[in-house]
Chains A and B, each alone.
Chain A
């Protein structure tokens, strides 16, 4: 059982992913965008962040970068369904080049998500990114 922060702007999608994670008996924290996620992370220590990429206000890329800059970088799974301007494949390709542990594309099955979560949690801790000046 792990404490997982789930970030997605669509409440219905969030509910579904939360349901999946609860089936895997994980504790789930929710955020609707990157700004809310940052606030939550100052108070709570999460084991893993699952984030959507295209979101209003602070998007998934910002979340990924800010998590990676921490002294103890968080493990991240990025999940995307594409955007009106960029294709899903392009977004996935970008996300893969960022400091994330796993990239998934929507729609994701319960099994896929839980396997990915397990894989990432079992992986060794991320190395910290150099602080930007």
Chain B
């Protein structure tokens, strides 16, 4: 150990070793992460080997030709002769050629070094480019927006993952090189053709138009379905020339749906306010008509006790009064008197009265849940809702059929996101369901059935307030209504009302 230390100190103290050590350190440092040395050696070693081999070959050739000359001029007896002259010549040649070779090596070394440095710089630049590309791709693939670029002819030069996903393709590579307009922008929302010449994205490349934002068109998926889209297009410019365009788009189906729901809710609210506003005057008008009629009836009673016309006026007033009440119920300004009660019992109690609404051709079926369904609601209003639904079911089956009234308990999970279930509080709901075997509701009017004054019945047969009254009442109770229908099979209306536990649930959530 001691000896080893001694030897180490001895060598380290030698100036030659110190210089070499420092030089090696410099080389190591300048090569930065040691990547310079292999590059240098990779270039220098073949060069050095070649120089050495060439030097050796030249030496052998030169030596042989000199010996030949000496032999021809009779300075030596044979080519293999070893004399002071040949030895001196050999030494002279070796020194000369070795010096030249060494010089070549000394010149080759910095050249190789410079070349290695340049190669290293290129390699670093290439690596950085690759890294940049990778981050750009990662960034593009991480956006919700679909992004694609096209060349002047409208062929895809780049697309991100979201673009491929939204258009129904497995990977962005499947889009590369394809003409985008005929692929996903070929038709309008109504299915009519959308020629590329009319497409704003296409025209931009030719006309150099300013960037545009479009929100009223659709894009088409690979499977032939379409989705409403909001897209913006910008020209891609290089040296002042437009060489293509880039398009950013988002699927706005969900936004559209929410907008529709909001518009619908606002419309209902407005009609409700209007109803409340006119109810006062309307009641006064009805009072004047009915009052005067009754006075007239009284005055003429002695002479003509049967006054059918006056009776008709009073009947009309009764209808008017019912209409105002429905409108007020819909306007949600009607005060409700909620109290806990059992839904199945209410349905059973209402059955006798409900039977009176029906003709012989219609059978009424009950499918009540086994468990008790306790809800907090205005029992009288809910009974009205049930009668209203049964009346509608009856009217949907002019030739008879079956009306099923069922109840059930249903849990709605927190992350439910389908149909009208998406906006309700999670929890347990009591469902009151009325199903008929009638003609069903065509798809195009299903959206409108809850709107006030919408009716398919003949003039004078329905006010068009029944379902909207149900909508208003159930909403006021913290529930919601779902309508399902298939043409020719029948319709099913489900009223969801929070059970007593569901009313408590939201409070637990806020804890």
B295 near A81: Cβ-Cβ < 8 Å: no
Closest to B279 in A: A82
Contact code string B314-345 (vs A, CB < 8 Å = 1, else 0): 00010001000000100101110000000000
**Per a CB cutoff under 8 Å, which of A13, A23, A88 touches B295?**
A23
A25 to B288, alpha carbons, bound, how many Å? 20
Q: With A10-B284, A84-B280, A88-B279 given, can you name 7 additional A-B contacts, CB distance below 8 Å? A: A81-B282, A87-B276, A93-B335, A106-B283, A108-B287, A109-B294, A110-B291
Closest to A23 in B: B298
B284 near A87: Cβ-Cβ < 8 Å: no
**Per a CB cutoff under 8 Å, which of B278, B281, B291, B333 touches A107?**
B291
Report, as a range, how many residues of chain A touch the other chain. Answer: 20 to 34
Q: How far is the CB of A117 from chain B (nearest CB, A)?
A: 15
**Per a CB cutoff under 8 Å, which of A12, A20, A86, A89 touches B294?**
A20
A106 near B286: Cβ-Cβ < 8 Å: yes
**Per a CB cutoff under 8 Å, which of A83, A90, A107, A110 touches B298?**
A110
Interface of B is mostly: helix
**Per a CB cutoff under 8 Å, which of B279, B331, B335 touches A81?**
B279
B311 in the interface (beta carbon within 8 A): no
A51 to B96, alpha carbons, bound, how many Å? 137
Closest to B289 in A: A107
B276 near A82: Cβ-Cβ < 8 Å: yes
B491 in the interface (beta carbon within 8 A): no
A107 near B292: Cβ-Cβ < 8 Å: no
B277 in the interface (beta carbon within 8 A): yes
A105 cross-chain contacts in B, Cβ below 8 A: 283
10 A-B residue pairs with CB within 8 Å? A12-B284, A12-B288, A16-B291, A16-B295, A81-B287, A84-B277, A87-B328, A88-B279, A107-B286, A109-B290
A17 in the interface (beta carbon within 8 A): yes
B331 near A87: Cβ-Cβ < 8 Å: yes
Q: How far is the CB of A83 from chain B (nearest CB, A)?
A: 5
A107 cross-chain contacts in B, Cβ below 8 A: 283, 286-287, 289-291, 317, 321
Binding site for B on A (CB under 8 A): 10, 12-13, 16-17, 19-20, 23, 54, 81-90, 93, 105-110
B290 near A87: Cβ-Cβ < 8 Å: no
B291 near A13: Cβ-Cβ < 8 Å: yes
B335 near A89: Cβ-Cβ < 8 Å: yes
A81 cross-chain contacts in B, Cβ below 8 A: 279-284, 287
Q: How far is the CB of A106 from chain B (nearest CB, A)?
A: 4
List the 5 closest pairs (A to B, CB-CB), nearest first.
A16-B291, A81-B283, A87-B333, A19-B295, A107-B287
A76 to B267, alpha carbons, bound, how many Å? 40
B298 cross-chain contacts in A, Cβ below 8 A: 23, 110
Closest to A89 in B: B335
A88 cross-chain contacts in B, Cβ below 8 A: 279-280, 283, 328
A54 to B279, alpha carbons, bound, how many Å? 13
B291 near A87: Cβ-Cβ < 8 Å: no
A90 cross-chain contacts in B, Cβ below 8 A: 333, 335
A16 cross-chain contacts in B, Cβ below 8 A: 287-288, 291-292, 295
Q: How far is the CB of A12 from chain B (nearest CB, A)?
A: 5
Q: How far is the CB of B171 from chain A (nearest CB, A)?
A: 61
A84 to B282, alpha carbons, bound, how many Å? 11
A83 cross-chain contacts in B, Cβ below 8 A: 280
A23 to B296, alpha carbons, bound, how many Å? 11
